Amino acid sequence: MRAHVKPKVRIRVVYIYAFCAILSLSVYPRAFDNPFRQDDFMFLRHVENNTFRGALKPPPELAFYRPGAIALFSLEHKLFARNSGAYIMFNYILHVAISILMLFILLRIDPHSKAPLLASGLFLMGFGHYGKQIMWACTSGPLASVLLSLASMLITIHWVGQSKMRDNGKPGRLGYGLYPVFALILLTLSPLFHETSVVTCVVISLIVMVSLRGSNSSKLNHAILFLIPLPLWLGFWFLLAKSYSAFRGIEESIPNVPAYLIRYIGFMVLPLQRTAIIGATPTRDLAIVISQYLQFVIGSTILVLLLYFVFKSKGTLRVLGVWFLLALGPFTLVPLPEHWLELRYLYHASIPFCGLTAIAVLALWGQKRIVWKVIAGAVIVGVTVGSMVLQVVLENRYDHYAQTTELIVRSPTNTRGASSCQ
């Protein structure tokens, strides 16, 4: 599990990351001067009308329980006041930190592959999370949630790597030191910033099972440790279900989860929606039908491959497959939104998605026939250019929505807008 990186490789990593950072800044050309909009005003109103003590129990209008996110936004408000660009810059810094954690995690899971560097670079440039989590002032909480869960994962992987062989060739005994305790604390705290990070419990448990040496019973004992927050948080949210509108009607959506999952996967590959084409024309209607059909075909194909990785493959592919399905799973309780502005919650799922994409691209590049290398290069160029073009489209739409929502005062009963800040 330990990643051995040579000095020359380290320098190369720095150069490549600097290049990706420049590209990522070009992907977000106008994001840092974005005004407040929509859910941002709701957070601003809450922190400006309440003390820190009120952040520990968000009102029903917020439709969720994320005291960590409210507290973090309160801290940002003390530092940045009404300077919207500073909030977004802070989000970008969190995004860079997450991409670095992602790199080290993938390097330790698969230290002999170039995929971790490529995957982290794709993620840094914005591939996969088409909702652009970074560009909303109120989304620092979800970013912090991902950061905490990834930090817990990296600490756990480091802890597992401390298991050494005894002189007689049997696996050394892995104790419960400070590493797992610290990792468990971070893992337990991360849902305070966003509830979906609780799925990381299962991912970390799988990594322990896959990576730890020793008997299956010993692996299971260590893996169960990281499942502790899962029933605790699920039970807590079950008790809140009657008070917070975001949890209502979930049971009615469960039968639609497979169809929603396929649509989300297809959308991450082919991000075309009704708002992608302006104007009610026959051409637009035909394009919508074709894009939805292609999304279903692509999503079904990838889902079959993911299930194969989960049940038949081993190591990196299994971990990334489970991670992707779990990260995307909670949001498949709601249908794919009809416009890009609500797709911020693809952010976490894009981490393993970029990992799987990098593995696929490098596998194509490693083929002897030139046609496969051309396809691999075309995918990378398409990802980079597509992310930049899509960002420009999103900025244009954000500017339009900002003009129409900046002066809107939301009603306390309007929980639909509140719950969209994912």
Q: What is the mean pLDDT of each run of 10 residues along the chain (422 residues)?
A: 50 66 64 74 79 57 73 89 86 89 88 83 76 77 93 88 50 62 90 88 85 67 83 78 60 77 84 58 70 86 89 84 88 70 76 90 86 86 75 64 47 40 49
Q: Compute, in degrees rounded to 10, the torsion defined by CA atoms 329, 334, 340, 346.
A: -10
Whole-number pLDDT of residue 380:
82
Number of Cβ within a 10 Å radius of residue 276: 15
Q: Are 415 and 241 in contact (CB under 8 A)?
A: no
Give the separation between CA 139 and CA 161, rounded to whole angstroms.
33
User: Which pTM does this prediction carry?
Assistant: 0.82
CA-CA-CA-CA torsion sign (243, 244, 249, 251)? negative
CB atoms within 10 A of CB 258: 12
**C-beta of residue 64 within 8 angstroms of C-beta of residue 246:** yes
Q: In this structure, is the dihedral angle defined by the CA atoms of residues 30, 31, 37 and 38, taken in order, positive or negative? A: positive
| Distance from C-alpha of 260 to C-alpha of 308, rounded to nearest angstrom | 20
Sign, CA torsion 69/25/7/119: positive
Tokens of 180: 């797992």
Answer for the pair 117, 13: CB distance below 8 angstroms, yes or no.
yes
* Cβ contact 162:174 at 8 Å: yes
Predicted confidence at residue 409, as pLDDT, reads 39
Instruction: Convert 355-386 to b/e letters by CB count within 10 Å (16 or more is b).
Output: bbbbbebeebbeeeeeeeeeebeeebeebbee
How far, in Å, are 24, 32, 88, 197 from residue 93 at the CA level?
12, 12, 9, 19
Sign of CA dihedral 117, 121, 124, 128: negative
Assigned token pair, 381: 């160029």
**What was the pLDDT predicted at 313?**
80
Angle between helices 140-161 and 84-109 (to 10 degrees): 20
Q: Angle 234-237-239 (CA atoms, 0-180°, nearest 5)?
A: 115
Rounded distance between C-alpha atoms, residue 70 and residue 284, angstroms: 41
Considering Cα of 356, then 359, then 361, then 367, what sign does the dihedral take? negative
CB 68 within 8 A of CB 189: yes
